Amino acid sequence: MIRRRHFSNQELANILYEMAALYEMQGVQFKPRAYDRAAHGVESHEENLQDLFMEHGEAAFAGVPGVGKGIADHLKELFTRGHFREYEKLKRKVPVDIVGLTSIEGVGPKTVRALWEQLRIRDVDDLERAARRGMISKLPHFRKRTEEKMLKSIEFMRKSGKRFILGFVAADVERLKRMIEKIPEVDSLEVAGSWRRWKETIGDIDILITSKKPKAVMSKILALPPVAHVYGTGSTKTNVRLKSGIDVDVRVVPAKSWGAALNYFTGSKPHNIALRSIAQKRGWKLSEYGLFKGKKMLAGKTEEEVYKHLGFPYIEPELREMSGELEAALRQAQGKPPGLPKLTGYKDLKGDLQVQTNWTDGSASIEKMADAAEAAGLEYIAVTDHTKSLAMTHGLNEKRLLEQVREIARTNQKRKRAGKKLVILAGSEVNIQKDGSLDIDDKTLSKLDIVGAAIHSYFDLSRNEQTRRLVRAMENKNVDIIFHPTCRLINARPEIQLDIEQVIRAAKRTGTVLEIDAYPDRLDLRDEYVKKCVEAGVLMSIDSDAHAPEHFSVLKFGIATARRGWAERKDIVNTLPLSKLRGKLKS
Protein backbone atom coordinates (compact mmCIF):
# COMPACT_ATOMS: atom_id res chain seq x y z
CA MET A 1 0.00 0.00 0.00
CA ILE A 2 1.36 3.41 -0.89
CA ARG A 3 0.76 5.97 1.82
CA ARG A 4 -0.26 9.28 0.44
CA ARG A 5 2.08 12.06 1.44
CA HIS A 6 0.81 14.51 4.01
CA PHE A 7 1.72 18.18 3.63
CA SER A 8 1.87 20.66 6.47
CA ASN A 9 0.61 24.14 5.65
CA GLN A 10 4.19 25.36 5.80
CA GLU A 11 5.26 22.78 3.20
CA LEU A 12 2.37 23.81 0.96
CA ALA A 13 3.25 27.47 1.36
CA ASN A 14 6.88 26.72 0.50
CA ILE A 15 5.80 25.06 -2.74
CA LEU A 16 3.66 28.09 -3.60
CA TYR A 17 6.53 30.47 -2.76
CA GLU A 18 8.70 28.39 -5.04
CA MET A 19 6.09 28.63 -7.82
CA ALA A 20 6.12 32.40 -7.41
CA ALA A 21 9.89 32.45 -7.72
CA LEU A 22 9.85 30.08 -10.71
CA TYR A 23 7.40 32.31 -12.54
CA GLU A 24 9.35 35.39 -11.63
CA MET A 25 12.49 33.81 -13.03
CA GLN A 26 10.70 33.23 -16.31
CA GLY A 27 9.68 36.86 -16.42
CA VAL A 28 5.97 35.95 -16.22
CA GLN A 29 3.69 38.85 -15.21
CA PHE A 30 1.20 38.88 -12.28
CA LYS A 31 1.54 35.18 -11.37
CA PRO A 32 4.46 35.68 -8.94
CA ARG A 33 2.41 38.06 -6.83
CA ALA A 34 -0.67 35.82 -6.96
CA TYR A 35 1.34 32.79 -5.76
CA ASP A 36 3.02 34.82 -3.05
CA ARG A 37 -0.35 35.94 -1.78
CA ALA A 38 -1.71 32.41 -1.81
CA ALA A 39 1.42 31.18 0.02
CA HIS A 40 0.90 33.85 2.70
CA GLY A 41 -2.72 32.76 3.07
CA VAL A 42 -1.89 29.06 3.36
CA GLU A 43 0.99 29.69 5.74
CA SER A 44 -1.13 31.52 8.26
CA HIS A 45 -4.22 29.33 7.97
CA GLU A 46 -5.13 27.75 11.30
CA GLU A 47 -6.32 24.34 10.14
CA ASN A 48 -4.30 21.98 8.00
CA LEU A 49 -5.52 22.44 4.43
CA GLN A 50 -5.01 18.87 3.35
CA ASP A 51 -7.10 17.60 6.26
CA LEU A 52 -9.77 20.17 5.48
CA PHE A 53 -9.76 19.10 1.84
CA MET A 54 -10.15 15.42 2.76
CA GLU A 55 -13.11 16.34 4.90
CA HIS A 56 -14.85 19.05 2.94
CA GLY A 57 -13.50 18.84 -0.63
CA GLU A 58 -13.10 22.09 -2.55
CA ALA A 59 -14.94 24.09 0.09
CA ALA A 60 -11.71 23.83 2.06
CA PHE A 61 -10.13 26.53 -0.10
CA ALA A 62 -12.93 29.06 0.21
CA GLY A 63 -11.66 30.62 3.42
CA VAL A 64 -8.01 30.90 2.42
CA PRO A 65 -7.02 34.39 1.27
CA GLY A 66 -5.35 34.43 -2.12
CA VAL A 67 -6.25 30.87 -3.13
CA GLY A 68 -8.41 31.16 -6.24
CA LYS A 69 -9.63 28.50 -8.65
CA GLY A 70 -6.30 27.98 -10.45
CA ILE A 71 -4.18 27.52 -7.34
CA ALA A 72 -6.91 25.44 -5.67
CA ASP A 73 -6.75 23.06 -8.65
CA HIS A 74 -2.99 22.71 -8.24
CA LEU A 75 -3.36 21.95 -4.54
CA LYS A 76 -6.10 19.42 -5.27
CA GLU A 77 -3.81 17.68 -7.68
CA LEU A 78 -1.03 17.74 -5.12
CA PHE A 79 -3.26 16.17 -2.45
CA THR A 80 -4.62 13.44 -4.72
CA ARG A 81 -1.54 12.58 -6.78
CA GLY A 82 1.31 13.69 -4.57
CA HIS A 83 2.61 16.20 -7.14
CA PHE A 84 1.30 18.63 -9.74
CA ARG A 85 2.17 19.06 -13.37
CA GLU A 86 2.62 22.82 -13.54
CA TYR A 87 5.26 22.66 -10.81
CA GLU A 88 7.12 19.76 -12.39
CA LYS A 89 7.11 21.49 -15.74
CA LEU A 90 8.59 24.66 -14.29
CA LYS A 91 11.12 22.73 -12.23
CA ARG A 92 12.34 20.85 -15.33
CA LYS A 93 13.20 24.14 -16.96
CA VAL A 94 15.36 25.26 -14.03
CA PRO A 95 16.19 22.40 -11.67
CA VAL A 96 17.57 24.48 -8.82
CA ASP A 97 17.00 24.85 -5.06
CA ILE A 98 15.19 28.16 -5.25
CA VAL A 99 14.06 28.25 -1.65
CA GLY A 100 17.62 27.71 -0.42
CA LEU A 101 19.21 30.14 -2.85
CA THR A 102 16.71 32.95 -2.38
CA SER A 103 17.19 32.74 1.39
CA ILE A 104 20.66 34.22 0.76
CA GLU A 105 20.56 37.98 1.15
CA GLY A 106 20.60 39.77 -2.19
CA VAL A 107 19.65 36.67 -4.18
CA GLY A 108 16.21 36.95 -5.78
CA PRO A 109 14.59 34.74 -8.42
CA LYS A 110 16.13 36.73 -11.26
CA THR A 111 19.59 36.26 -9.81
CA VAL A 112 18.92 32.54 -9.41
CA ARG A 113 18.06 32.36 -13.06
CA ALA A 114 21.18 34.26 -14.16
CA LEU A 115 23.37 32.06 -11.96
CA TRP A 116 21.80 28.91 -13.39
CA GLU A 117 22.04 29.99 -17.01
CA GLN A 118 25.61 31.21 -16.81
CA LEU A 119 27.26 29.04 -14.18
CA ARG A 120 24.85 26.11 -13.73
CA ILE A 121 24.51 26.93 -10.01
CA ARG A 122 21.91 24.61 -8.46
CA ASP A 123 22.16 25.18 -4.72
CA VAL A 124 23.85 27.10 -1.93
CA ASP A 125 26.92 24.84 -2.01
CA ASP A 126 27.43 25.57 -5.71
CA LEU A 127 26.99 29.27 -5.05
CA GLU A 128 29.51 29.25 -2.23
CA ARG A 129 32.10 27.45 -4.35
CA ALA A 130 31.62 29.85 -7.27
CA ALA A 131 31.74 32.93 -5.04
CA ARG A 132 34.94 31.76 -3.31
CA ARG A 133 36.59 31.37 -6.71
CA GLY A 134 35.48 34.88 -7.68
CA MET A 135 33.31 33.63 -10.54
CA ILE A 136 30.21 35.62 -9.59
CA SER A 137 31.85 39.02 -9.82
CA LYS A 138 33.08 38.15 -13.31
CA LEU A 139 29.51 37.87 -14.59
CA PRO A 140 27.93 40.90 -16.24
CA HIS A 141 25.94 43.08 -13.78
CA PHE A 142 27.53 41.47 -10.69
CA ARG A 143 29.97 43.41 -8.55
CA LYS A 144 32.73 42.31 -6.19
CA ARG A 145 30.69 43.77 -3.32
CA THR A 146 27.68 41.60 -4.21
CA GLU A 147 29.86 38.51 -4.22
CA GLU A 148 31.29 39.38 -0.81
CA LYS A 149 27.82 39.99 0.57
CA MET A 150 26.64 36.59 -0.67
CA LEU A 151 29.53 34.84 1.04
CA LYS A 152 28.90 36.71 4.27
CA SER A 153 25.24 35.76 4.21
CA ILE A 154 26.02 32.08 3.51
CA GLU A 155 28.50 32.04 6.36
CA PHE A 156 25.96 33.61 8.72
CA MET A 157 23.31 31.07 7.73
CA ARG A 158 25.66 28.15 8.31
CA LYS A 159 26.59 29.52 11.73
CA SER A 160 23.00 30.00 12.85
CA GLY A 161 22.54 26.27 12.32
CA LYS A 162 19.26 24.49 12.37
CA ARG A 163 17.09 26.24 14.90
CA PHE A 164 13.50 26.86 13.94
CA ILE A 165 11.87 30.26 14.19
CA LEU A 166 9.14 29.72 16.76
CA GLY A 167 6.47 31.77 15.01
CA PHE A 168 7.03 29.96 11.72
CA VAL A 169 6.62 26.47 13.19
CA ALA A 170 3.86 27.43 15.64
CA ALA A 171 1.03 26.16 13.44
CA ASP A 172 2.78 22.79 13.06
CA VAL A 173 3.38 22.53 16.80
CA GLU A 174 -0.24 23.40 17.63
CA ARG A 175 -1.47 20.87 15.11
CA LEU A 176 0.74 18.09 16.50
CA LYS A 177 -0.45 19.02 19.97
CA ARG A 178 -4.10 18.68 18.92
CA MET A 179 -3.40 15.28 17.33
CA ILE A 180 -1.78 13.92 20.48
CA GLU A 181 -4.51 15.36 22.69
CA LYS A 182 -7.01 13.31 20.71
CA ILE A 183 -5.31 10.03 21.69
CA PRO A 184 -7.77 8.61 24.28
CA GLU A 185 -5.04 7.34 26.64
CA VAL A 186 -3.54 10.84 27.03
CA ASP A 187 -4.68 12.44 30.31
CA SER A 188 -2.84 15.75 30.12
CA LEU A 189 -0.32 17.30 27.81
CA GLU A 190 1.90 20.35 27.66
CA VAL A 191 4.58 21.47 25.23
CA ALA A 192 7.56 22.39 27.44
CA GLY A 193 11.16 23.44 26.64
CA SER A 194 12.04 26.60 24.80
CA TRP A 195 8.55 26.61 23.21
CA ARG A 196 6.95 27.22 26.59
CA ARG A 197 9.51 29.90 27.41
CA TRP A 198 8.64 31.54 24.05
CA LYS A 199 12.23 31.74 22.88
CA GLU A 200 12.56 33.24 19.42
CA THR A 201 13.90 29.98 18.01
CA ILE A 202 13.48 26.42 19.18
CA GLY A 203 15.88 23.51 18.75
CA ASP A 204 13.19 20.86 19.11
CA ILE A 205 9.69 20.26 20.49
CA ASP A 206 9.47 18.85 24.03
CA ILE A 207 6.15 17.22 24.80
CA LEU A 208 5.18 16.18 28.29
CA ILE A 209 2.29 13.78 28.86
CA THR A 210 0.60 12.06 31.77
CA SER A 211 -1.06 8.75 31.06
CA LYS A 212 -1.87 5.48 32.73
CA LYS A 213 -1.13 3.64 29.49
CA PRO A 214 2.17 5.05 28.21
CA LYS A 215 2.82 2.16 25.79
CA ALA A 216 -0.42 2.76 23.93
CA VAL A 217 0.26 6.50 23.81
CA MET A 218 3.71 6.03 22.35
CA SER A 219 2.64 3.57 19.66
CA LYS A 220 -0.16 5.90 18.59
CA ILE A 221 2.23 8.84 18.39
CA LEU A 222 4.55 6.86 16.12
CA ALA A 223 1.64 6.27 13.74
CA LEU A 224 0.73 9.99 13.39
CA PRO A 225 0.97 11.33 9.82
CA PRO A 226 3.60 14.05 10.50
CA VAL A 227 6.12 11.54 11.92
CA ALA A 228 8.91 10.82 9.44
CA HIS A 229 11.56 8.98 11.44
CA VAL A 230 11.85 7.28 14.82
CA TYR A 231 15.18 7.70 16.63
CA GLY A 232 14.11 5.63 19.59
CA THR A 233 11.03 4.71 21.56
CA GLY A 234 10.17 3.31 24.98
CA SER A 235 7.30 3.58 27.41
CA THR A 236 8.54 6.79 29.07
CA LYS A 237 10.64 8.38 26.34
CA THR A 238 10.31 8.63 22.57
CA ASN A 239 12.27 10.67 20.06
CA VAL A 240 11.09 11.25 16.49
CA ARG A 241 11.69 13.54 13.58
CA LEU A 242 8.75 15.16 11.79
CA LYS A 243 8.44 15.50 8.03
CA SER A 244 8.98 19.22 8.45
CA GLY A 245 12.49 18.38 9.73
CA ILE A 246 11.98 19.24 13.39
CA ASP A 247 12.73 16.75 16.18
CA VAL A 248 10.28 15.91 18.95
CA ASP A 249 11.07 14.61 22.45
CA VAL A 250 8.09 12.95 24.11
CA ARG A 251 8.04 12.05 27.81
CA VAL A 252 5.31 10.33 29.74
CA VAL A 253 5.37 10.99 33.49
CA PRO A 254 3.16 9.89 36.40
CA ALA A 255 0.49 12.44 37.41
CA LYS A 256 2.00 12.92 40.86
CA SER A 257 5.23 14.17 39.23
CA TRP A 258 3.54 16.43 36.66
CA GLY A 259 4.60 19.76 38.17
CA ALA A 260 8.19 18.71 38.84
CA ALA A 261 8.51 17.26 35.35
CA LEU A 262 6.94 20.30 33.72
CA ASN A 263 9.34 22.49 35.65
CA TYR A 264 12.32 20.37 34.68
CA PHE A 265 11.48 20.08 30.98
CA THR A 266 10.52 23.74 30.65
CA GLY A 267 14.00 24.78 31.70
CA SER A 268 15.98 26.74 31.09
CA LYS A 269 18.75 24.41 32.07
CA PRO A 270 20.58 27.09 34.14
CA HIS A 271 17.30 27.92 35.93
CA ASN A 272 16.84 24.20 36.73
CA ILE A 273 20.36 23.83 38.00
CA ALA A 274 19.96 26.83 40.31
CA LEU A 275 16.68 25.47 41.73
CA ARG A 276 18.30 22.10 42.24
CA SER A 277 21.18 23.58 44.22
CA ILE A 278 18.76 25.61 46.37
CA ALA A 279 17.01 22.33 47.21
CA GLN A 280 20.33 20.69 47.99
CA LYS A 281 21.30 23.44 50.42
CA ARG A 282 18.26 22.48 52.48
CA GLY A 283 19.18 18.83 52.31
CA TRP A 284 16.47 18.05 49.74
CA LYS A 285 16.62 16.64 46.26
CA LEU A 286 14.83 18.12 43.24
CA SER A 287 14.41 16.09 40.06
CA GLU A 288 11.88 15.64 37.29
CA TYR A 289 10.06 13.23 39.65
CA GLY A 290 9.56 15.68 42.49
CA LEU A 291 11.05 17.48 45.46
CA PHE A 292 12.17 14.91 48.04
CA LYS A 293 13.38 14.86 51.61
CA GLY A 294 14.94 11.41 51.81
CA LYS A 295 12.21 9.13 50.46
CA LYS A 296 9.41 11.52 51.34
CA MET A 297 7.93 13.55 48.48
CA LEU A 298 7.48 17.18 49.56
CA ALA A 299 6.06 18.54 46.31
CA GLY A 300 5.71 17.64 42.65
CA LYS A 301 2.10 17.62 41.49
CA THR A 302 2.07 21.25 40.37
CA GLU A 303 4.79 23.76 39.50
CA GLU A 304 3.35 26.27 41.99
CA GLU A 305 3.82 23.71 44.77
CA VAL A 306 7.45 23.10 43.81
CA TYR A 307 8.27 26.82 43.76
CA LYS A 308 6.38 27.38 47.00
CA HIS A 309 8.32 24.70 48.88
CA LEU A 310 11.56 26.25 47.70
CA GLY A 311 10.40 29.62 49.06
CA PHE A 312 9.37 31.30 45.81
CA PRO A 313 6.21 32.65 44.23
CA TYR A 314 5.30 31.16 40.83
CA ILE A 315 7.72 32.27 38.11
CA GLU A 316 6.38 32.66 34.56
CA PRO A 317 8.15 30.44 31.98
CA GLU A 318 9.24 33.49 29.94
CA LEU A 319 11.34 34.65 32.91
CA ARG A 320 13.17 31.39 33.54
CA GLU A 321 16.45 32.34 31.90
CA MET A 322 18.59 33.11 34.97
CA SER A 323 18.54 36.80 34.31
CA GLY A 324 17.70 37.74 37.88
CA GLU A 325 14.31 36.04 38.26
CA LEU A 326 15.27 34.00 41.31
CA GLU A 327 16.62 37.03 43.17
CA ALA A 328 13.49 39.04 42.31
CA ALA A 329 11.23 36.13 43.34
CA LEU A 330 13.07 35.81 46.64
CA ARG A 331 12.74 39.54 47.38
CA GLN A 332 9.04 39.29 46.59
CA ALA A 333 8.63 36.36 48.97
CA GLN A 334 10.33 38.44 51.67
CA GLY A 335 8.19 41.50 50.93
CA LYS A 336 11.13 43.55 49.65
CA PRO A 337 10.87 45.45 46.36
CA PRO A 338 11.54 45.11 43.53
CA GLY A 339 9.86 41.74 43.12
CA LEU A 340 8.95 39.91 39.92
CA PRO A 341 7.47 42.12 37.20
CA LYS A 342 3.72 42.11 36.57
CA LEU A 343 4.20 41.06 32.96
CA THR A 344 2.29 42.55 30.04
CA GLY A 345 -0.55 40.11 29.31
CA TYR A 346 -1.26 38.37 26.01
CA LYS A 347 -4.54 40.29 25.75
CA ASP A 348 -3.24 43.70 26.79
CA LEU A 349 -2.60 45.34 23.42
CA LYS A 350 -5.12 47.98 22.38
CA GLY A 351 -3.47 49.04 19.14
CA ASP A 352 -0.91 48.24 16.51
CA LEU A 353 1.40 51.00 15.32
CA GLN A 354 3.00 49.39 12.27
CA VAL A 355 0.70 48.21 9.47
CA GLN A 356 1.35 48.20 5.72
CA THR A 357 -1.32 48.31 3.01
CA ASN A 358 -1.57 47.89 -0.74
CA TRP A 359 -0.54 51.53 -1.08
CA THR A 360 2.95 50.00 -0.91
CA ASP A 361 4.02 46.40 -0.37
CA GLY A 362 1.07 45.18 1.71
CA SER A 363 -1.52 42.90 0.12
CA ALA A 364 -4.76 44.55 1.29
CA SER A 365 -6.56 47.89 1.34
CA ILE A 366 -6.62 50.25 4.33
CA GLU A 367 -10.20 49.22 4.98
CA LYS A 368 -9.49 45.46 4.88
CA MET A 369 -6.55 45.86 7.25
CA ALA A 370 -8.70 47.90 9.63
CA ASP A 371 -11.47 45.28 9.58
CA ALA A 372 -8.97 42.49 10.26
CA ALA A 373 -7.40 44.46 13.13
CA GLU A 374 -10.81 45.10 14.64
CA ALA A 375 -11.65 41.40 14.37
CA ALA A 376 -8.36 40.70 16.17
CA GLY A 377 -9.64 42.80 19.08
CA LEU A 378 -7.71 46.03 18.53
CA GLU A 379 -9.06 49.56 19.07
CA TYR A 380 -6.69 51.43 16.77
CA ILE A 381 -4.00 50.90 14.13
CA ALA A 382 -1.54 53.20 12.46
CA VAL A 383 -1.19 52.80 8.71
CA THR A 384 2.55 53.07 8.13
CA ASP A 385 3.40 52.48 4.51
CA HIS A 386 6.92 52.75 3.17
CA THR A 387 8.29 55.99 1.72
CA LYS A 388 9.74 57.00 -1.61
CA SER A 389 13.38 55.97 -1.32
CA LEU A 390 12.27 52.32 -1.03
CA ALA A 391 11.43 52.09 -4.71
CA MET A 392 10.92 48.33 -4.70
CA THR A 393 7.97 48.75 -2.34
CA HIS A 394 6.57 51.65 -4.41
CA GLY A 395 7.17 53.86 -1.40
CA LEU A 396 5.02 56.98 -1.06
CA ASN A 397 6.26 60.49 -1.78
CA GLU A 398 4.94 63.59 0.02
CA LYS A 399 2.02 64.02 -2.35
CA ARG A 400 0.87 60.40 -2.13
CA LEU A 401 1.34 60.41 1.63
CA LEU A 402 -1.01 63.39 1.98
CA GLU A 403 -3.48 61.67 -0.36
CA GLN A 404 -3.35 58.71 1.95
CA VAL A 405 -4.06 60.93 4.97
CA ARG A 406 -7.27 62.05 3.25
CA GLU A 407 -8.16 58.50 2.29
CA ILE A 408 -7.71 57.42 5.91
CA ALA A 409 -10.02 60.22 7.06
CA ARG A 410 -12.65 59.07 4.56
CA THR A 411 -12.25 55.46 5.61
CA ASN A 412 -12.60 56.39 9.28
CA GLN A 413 -15.84 58.27 8.53
CA LYS A 414 -17.24 55.44 6.47
CA ARG A 415 -16.40 52.83 9.07
CA LYS A 416 -17.86 54.98 11.83
CA ARG A 417 -21.15 55.31 9.94
CA ALA A 418 -21.20 51.53 9.64
CA GLY A 419 -20.93 51.27 13.43
CA LYS A 420 -17.35 50.06 13.47
CA LYS A 421 -15.17 51.15 16.37
CA LEU A 422 -11.53 50.84 15.42
CA VAL A 423 -9.79 54.12 14.62
CA ILE A 424 -7.17 54.34 11.88
CA LEU A 425 -4.25 56.68 12.48
CA ALA A 426 -2.35 58.21 9.60
CA GLY A 427 1.27 57.23 9.92
CA SER A 428 4.33 56.31 7.96
CA GLU A 429 7.37 54.08 8.00
CA VAL A 430 9.78 56.79 6.91
CA ASN A 431 13.06 55.60 5.52
CA ILE A 432 16.15 56.73 7.41
CA GLN A 433 18.84 57.63 4.91
CA LYS A 434 22.54 56.93 5.22
CA ASP A 435 23.23 60.14 7.14
CA GLY A 436 20.25 59.82 9.50
CA SER A 437 18.07 62.29 7.62
CA LEU A 438 14.60 61.21 6.49
CA ASP A 439 13.30 60.91 2.93
CA ILE A 440 10.07 62.87 3.65
CA ASP A 441 10.07 66.56 4.54
CA ASP A 442 9.19 67.72 8.06
CA LYS A 443 6.20 69.74 6.95
CA THR A 444 4.52 66.63 5.56
CA LEU A 445 5.50 64.51 8.55
CA SER A 446 3.97 67.05 10.92
CA LYS A 447 0.59 66.39 9.31
CA LEU A 448 0.62 62.71 10.30
CA ASP A 449 -0.80 61.31 13.54
CA ILE A 450 2.23 59.16 14.13
CA VAL A 451 5.61 58.75 12.49
CA GLY A 452 7.73 55.62 12.59
CA ALA A 453 11.21 55.72 11.13
CA ALA A 454 13.34 52.76 10.13
CA ILE A 455 16.60 51.74 8.54
CA HIS A 456 16.33 49.63 5.37
CA SER A 457 19.77 50.02 3.79
CA TYR A 458 23.48 50.53 4.57
CA PHE A 459 23.36 47.78 7.16
CA ASP A 460 27.15 47.55 7.32
CA LEU A 461 28.11 51.02 8.57
CA SER A 462 30.53 51.19 11.49
CA ARG A 463 29.15 51.18 15.02
CA ASN A 464 29.83 54.87 15.41
CA GLU A 465 28.25 55.91 12.15
CA GLN A 466 25.27 53.62 12.59
CA THR A 467 24.60 54.84 16.14
CA ARG A 468 24.90 58.48 15.08
CA ARG A 469 22.55 57.80 12.16
CA LEU A 470 19.83 56.36 14.39
CA VAL A 471 20.25 59.01 17.09
CA ARG A 472 19.89 61.74 14.47
CA ALA A 473 16.61 60.21 13.33
CA MET A 474 15.36 60.13 16.94
CA GLU A 475 16.24 63.79 17.32
CA ASN A 476 13.72 64.69 14.62
CA LYS A 477 10.76 66.06 16.55
CA ASN A 478 8.29 64.35 14.21
CA VAL A 479 9.67 60.86 14.74
CA ASP A 480 7.60 59.10 17.40
CA ILE A 481 8.91 55.55 17.05
CA ILE A 482 11.94 53.73 15.67
CA PHE A 483 10.71 50.59 13.95
CA HIS A 484 12.72 47.33 14.15
CA PRO A 485 15.72 49.22 15.59
CA THR A 486 18.46 46.62 14.99
CA CYS A 487 17.21 45.39 11.58
CA ARG A 488 18.13 41.79 12.25
CA LEU A 489 16.39 38.90 10.50
CA ILE A 490 16.62 35.78 12.63
CA ASN A 491 18.70 33.05 10.90
CA ALA A 492 19.25 35.36 7.93
CA ARG A 493 20.77 38.72 8.78
CA PRO A 494 22.75 39.87 11.81
CA GLU A 495 21.92 43.04 13.76
CA ILE A 496 23.35 46.31 12.53
CA GLN A 497 26.22 47.56 14.69
CA LEU A 498 24.81 49.86 17.37
CA ASP A 499 25.87 51.19 20.72
CA ILE A 500 22.58 50.06 22.19
CA GLU A 501 23.14 51.86 25.51
CA GLN A 502 23.61 55.12 23.66
CA VAL A 503 20.53 54.47 21.52
CA ILE A 504 18.47 53.83 24.66
CA ARG A 505 19.76 57.00 26.32
CA ALA A 506 18.88 58.99 23.20
CA ALA A 507 15.40 57.47 23.16
CA LYS A 508 14.94 58.56 26.77
CA ARG A 509 16.24 62.07 26.13
CA THR A 510 14.19 62.63 22.97
CA GLY A 511 11.04 60.82 24.14
CA THR A 512 11.19 58.40 21.22
CA VAL A 513 9.46 55.03 21.48
CA LEU A 514 11.48 51.95 20.46
CA GLU A 515 9.58 49.18 18.74
CA ILE A 516 9.39 45.46 19.32
CA ASP A 517 8.53 44.31 15.81
CA ALA A 518 6.48 41.15 16.42
CA TYR A 519 7.02 39.53 13.04
CA PRO A 520 8.46 36.08 13.86
CA ASP A 521 11.81 36.46 12.11
CA ARG A 522 12.37 39.98 13.48
CA LEU A 523 11.43 40.16 17.18
CA ASP A 524 13.42 43.34 17.18
CA LEU A 525 14.10 44.73 19.83
CA ARG A 526 15.17 41.37 21.19
CA ASP A 527 14.44 40.32 24.78
CA GLU A 528 17.71 41.49 26.37
CA TYR A 529 17.36 44.96 24.84
CA VAL A 530 13.76 45.12 26.03
CA LYS A 531 15.07 44.57 29.54
CA LYS A 532 17.52 47.45 29.13
CA CYS A 533 14.67 49.71 27.99
CA VAL A 534 12.56 48.68 30.98
CA GLU A 535 15.44 49.52 33.31
CA ALA A 536 16.03 52.87 31.58
CA GLY A 537 12.32 53.77 31.56
CA VAL A 538 12.15 53.94 27.77
CA LEU A 539 8.72 53.27 26.27
CA MET A 540 8.30 50.53 23.69
CA SER A 541 5.55 49.55 21.25
CA ILE A 542 4.66 46.03 20.11
CA ASP A 543 3.65 46.06 16.45
CA SER A 544 2.75 43.36 13.94
CA ASP A 545 4.48 44.83 10.87
CA ALA A 546 1.45 43.29 9.12
CA HIS A 547 1.56 43.13 5.34
CA ALA A 548 -1.67 41.10 5.07
CA PRO A 549 -4.91 40.87 7.08
CA GLU A 550 -3.98 37.53 8.66
CA HIS A 551 -0.72 38.92 10.06
CA PHE A 552 -2.27 40.46 13.19
CA SER A 553 -1.94 36.99 14.69
CA VAL A 554 1.82 37.55 15.09
CA LEU A 555 1.35 40.14 17.85
CA LYS A 556 1.56 37.39 20.47
CA PHE A 557 5.19 36.72 19.54
CA GLY A 558 6.02 40.36 20.19
CA ILE A 559 4.19 40.23 23.51
CA ALA A 560 6.20 37.13 24.42
CA THR A 561 9.43 38.96 23.62
CA ALA A 562 8.33 41.87 25.78
CA ARG A 563 7.57 39.46 28.63
CA ARG A 564 10.95 37.78 28.19
CA GLY A 565 12.40 41.27 28.64
CA TRP A 566 10.39 41.79 31.87
CA ALA A 567 8.13 44.46 30.34
CA GLU A 568 5.02 45.49 32.23
CA ARG A 569 1.99 47.21 30.78
CA LYS A 570 3.37 50.60 31.70
CA ASP A 571 6.42 49.96 29.49
CA ILE A 572 4.37 49.29 26.36
CA VAL A 573 2.78 52.37 24.85
CA ASN A 574 0.14 50.56 22.80
CA THR A 575 -1.41 48.94 25.85
CA LEU A 576 -2.90 52.42 26.36
CA PRO A 577 -6.25 53.42 24.95
CA LEU A 578 -6.01 55.88 22.07
CA SER A 579 -6.92 58.90 24.21
CA LYS A 580 -3.92 58.28 26.46
CA LEU A 581 -1.56 57.18 23.68
CA ARG A 582 -1.55 60.67 22.19
CA GLY A 583 -0.05 62.14 25.36
CA LYS A 584 2.89 59.73 25.21
CA LEU A 585 3.96 60.66 21.68
CA LYS A 586 5.98 63.71 20.70
CA SER A 587 3.64 66.62 20.07
CA angle 5, 6, 7 (to 5 degrees): 120
Q: What amino acid occupies position 525?
A: L
Q: Should residue 249 be labelled a site residue for Ca ion when binding is judged by CB under 5 A?
A: yes
Applying CB under 5 A, the span of 11-19, 21-29, 52-60, 185-193 interacting with Ca ion comes to 185-193
Contact characters 55-94, Zn ion, x per CB under 5 A:
----------------------------------------
Long-range residue pairs from 80-88, CB within 8 A, at least 24 positions apart, any chain:
82/4, 82/5, 86/19, 87/15, 87/18, 87/19, 87/22
DSSP string, 330-364: HHHHTT-SS-S--BPPTT---EEEEE--TTTT-SS
In terms of CB distance, is 207 or 546 closer to ligand DGT?
207
> Nearer Cβ to Zn ion, position 190 or 361?
361
Residue 363 interacting with Zn ion (CB under 5 A):
no
Which residues of this protein are in contact with ligand DGT, per CB under 6 A? 193-194, 199, 202-204, 206, 264-265, 267-269, 272-273
Does residue number 51 form part of the binding site for Zn ion (CB under 5 A)? no
**Single residue of 65, 193, 300, 485 touching Ca ion by CB under 5 A:** 193
* Length of the chain counted residue by residue: 587
Q: Pick from 36, 43, 206, 379: which binds Ca ion (CB under 5 A)?
A: 206
Q: From CA 235, how far away is CA 208, in angstroms rounded?
A: 13
Beta-carbon contacts of 585 under 8 Å, excluding residues fewer than 6 positions away, are 450, 480, 513, 573
**Three-state helix/strand/coil letters over 374-436:** HHCCCCEEEECCEECCCHHHCCECHHHHHHHHHHHHHHHHHHHHCCCCCEEEEEEEEEECCCC
Q: Work out which of 47, 304, 361, 439 binds Zn ion, going by CB under 5 A.
A: 361
Cα separation, 9 vs 46, in Å, equals 9
In angstroms, the CA 569 to CA 345 distance is 8
Choose, by CB under 5 A, the member of 11, 43, 172, 204 that binds Ca ion.
Answer: 204
Kindly state whether residue 356 participates in binding Zn ion, applying the rule CB under 5 A.
yes
Which one, of 400, 377, 421, lies nearest residue 544 by Cα? 377
Judged by beta carbon distances under 5 to 8 A according to partner kind, the member of Ca ion, ligand DGT, Zn ion, none in contact with residue 561 is: none
Select from 157-165, 187-195, 371-379, 513-521 the region that touches Ca ion (CB under 5 A).
187-195
Query: Which of the stretches 61-69, 246-254, 342-350, 367-375 binds Ca ion when contact is defined by CB under 5 A?
Result: 246-254
For the beta carbon of residue 2, count every other beta carbon within 10 angstroms.
5
449 binds Ca ion (CB under 5 A): no
From the list 107-115, 196-204, 427-435, 577-585, the region that binds Ca ion by CB under 5 A is 196-204
Under the binding rule (CB under 5 A), the answer on residue 486 touching Zn ion is: no
Q: Choose among Zn ion, ligand DGT, Ca ion, none what residue 111 binds, the Cβ cut-off being 5 to 8 Å by kind.
A: none
Residues lying near Zn ion in the complex (CB under 5 A) are found at: 356, 361
Contacts to Ca ion by CB under 5 A: 193-194, 204, 206, 249
